[in-house]
Structure 1
């Protein structure tokens, strides 16, 4: 019998990893900040993450996507990980979670 993978469980693990990565200018993790638009996991354990940056000229534009890719790849179940940057839609404070807004004194 073929074993099936639980892509939802792996997705949750990936989100936990993403919550350990912080924007260096804002003391909030990139997931709560709303920088992660989507996480795709297929049956071959290949992961694609669609994310944005706070601005196109973000000082960590070169390093942050690499950090995301490397940390997600470090999960045993993940075969490959790819990060795609998009600015459509552009990031705005409305994308932040309530937790992030509270942390930054915006509530």
Structure 2
């Protein structure tokens, strides 16, 4: 009989194998909004506009697991912020409550141009 008890999984073992709760669609949208808010605190060091309104963020996606994926670009391949800006974005997003992991991908296609900027950014920089 003692052998039967030892083969029964403990509550902790059962908890370890229970799948993580998935976020609902409304929770995913709310988390994406919080991520965008956090991204708006990141600035290109040479331009006084946050990188979201500058148009450097191409995609913000949150999986039901809470993992975030950001596709971004830089103003130019030789941008001096290339070594630091993606890491700053990743670090800031990882601080958002509910985010379980972050992946930031830098892409060059399509290339960035001023048409990607928000109206507010264009106004701030005198393009309107």
TM-score, structure 1 as length reference: 0.95
Structure 1: stretches of 5+ with no match in the other structure: none
| Contact 2:71 2:107 survives alignment (8 Å) | yes
* Equivalence for 2:57: 36
* Equivalence for 1:54: 75
Q: Which one has more relative contact order, counting CA pairs under 8 Å at least 6 apart? A: 1
Counterparts of 1:53-92 in structure 2, within 5 Å, are 53-92=74-113
Deviation at 1:4, TM superposition (A): 3.9
| Partner Cα separation in structure 1 for residue 23 and residue 69 of structure 2 | 19
Deviation at 1:16, TM superposition (A): 0.3
**How many residues are paired up?**
106
Higher helix share: 2
TM-score, structure 2 as length reference: 0.80
| Partner Cα separation in structure 2 for residue 4 and residue 31 of structure 1 | 24
| Contact 2:54 2:118 survives alignment (8 Å) | yes
* Equivalence for 1:96: 117
| Partner Cα separation in structure 1 for residue 94 and residue 43 of structure 2 | 17
| Contact 2:22 2:64 survives alignment (8 Å) | no
| Partner Cα separation in structure 2 for residue 4 and residue 17 of structure 1 | 20
Deviation at 1:3, TM superposition (A): 7.0
